[in-house]
Amino acid sequence: MKIITTIAELRAHMASFKHPAFVPTMGNLHAGHLALVRQAKPLGDAVVVSVFVNRLQFLPHEDFDSYPRTWEADCRALDDAGCDVLFAPSEQELYPEPQGYKVHPPAALTDILEGHFRPGFFIGVCTVVLKLFSCVQPRVAVFGQKDYQQLMVIRRMVAQLALPIEILGGPTLRSDDGLALSSRNGYLSATERAEAVHLSLQLKQIALALRAGYSNIASLEKQAMAALAERGWQPDYVAIRRRADLQSPRIDEVTTLIQDQGLVVLGAARLGQTRLIDNLEV
């Protein structure tokens, strides 16, 4: 595995490859990230993984400074997973001057759910991803489906900007008890870790109710939020949405959407000081 820290060196090195595959990360890698690398491996003539903690997508009160940096462990894991190139630019390298030009995705898709509770988050995500695409120039890029809304935003950006990149989603990996793997799981205490599975359990209960024919979406969402709050969580949202556009479905289309596998349940909640997100396609 070759480690590259500058854009100039990356472009020079990648000039000999025709179909690179790309997996962008913020480091602190877990098995879910490595699964994306293995998914990307047969899709190109080189697999590039970036490790960059992107300041633009953190709000002032969020954990940019304390976000775990596990460089040596990340390098070993990526090498073992078959990564060919690790691109790890410094902040000065990727943002040599204040980033005045930014990507502003449509509000209808990004001012809801995550974007509602983290204003500006998707501007930061789209800006850094577009910049990384420019550096790597991949033909395919793989993103985790745990960040469901983010995956949709990136797909729409690539389509609208006519970028020659295929965007693929990688399935969410879970622990044996059902907790979605996340870099932020490391913040959880032992007690919180045991409790954390209840976010995914609430999503599963909603999915079961929908499959059983219960179509009162507002009631299902409210019950799940209340159940989490009773257990000591601080829920931001539990939402049943159309997969196509992440908008709330009309009551008269719920049954059809279930039959057509057209719904997804998304949740975000804070447990102690740790904010967790998850989703489940119905």
Instruction: Give the domain extent around 246.
Output: 183-276
Q: Which pLDDT belongs to residue 66?
A: 84
Domain boundary among 114, 141, 170: 170
Q: Which of 232, 223, 226, 238 is nearest to 271 (CA)?
A: 232
Is residue 150 domain-shared with residue 190, that is, in the same domain? no
Number of structural domains found in the chain: 2
Q: What is the pLDDT of residue 170?
A: 97
Can you give the pTM of this predicted structure? 0.94
Q: Residue 154's pLDDT is what?
A: 98
Question: For the segment 86-95, what is each residue's pLDDT rounded down to a tens digit?
Answer: 999 999 999 9
Give yes or no for a contact between 87 and 10, defined as CB atoms under 8 angstroms apart.
Answer: yes
Which H helix or E strand runs over 1? none
Query: How far, in Å, CA of 50 to CA of 63, rounded?
Result: 20
State percent of the chain over pLDDT 70.
100
Residues 142 and 217 in one domain: no
Catalytic residue status for 33: yes
CB 22 within 8 A of CB 132: yes
- 258 vs 256: CA distance, rounded Å: 5
Averaged pLDDT for residues 133-148: 98
Q: Which CATH number fits the domain that encloses residue 122?
A: 3.40.50.620
For the segment 126-133, the average pLDDT, to the nearest whole number, is 98
pLDDT tens-place string over residues 175-225: 999 999 999 999 999 999 999 999 999 999 999 999 998 889 999 999 999
Q: How far apart are CA 186 and CA 197, in angstroms?
A: 14
Q: Of the residues 170, 203, 220, which one is the last residue of a structural domain?
A: 170
* Catalytic residue chosen out of the listed positions 13, 33, 104, 198: 33
Mean residue pLDDT of the chain comes to 96
Phi, psi of 149 (to 5 degrees): -65, -40
Tens digits of residue pLDDT in 109-118: 999 999 999 9
pLDDT at 215: 86
In the prediction, which pLDDT does 259 show? 84
Residues 87, 49: contact at Cβ < 8 Å?
yes
- Tell me, yes or no, whether 178 lies in a domain: no
Q: Are 268 and 121 in contact (CB under 8 A)?
A: no
145-188 pLDDT, tens digit per residue, is 999 999 999 999 999 999 999 999 999 999 999 999 999 999 99
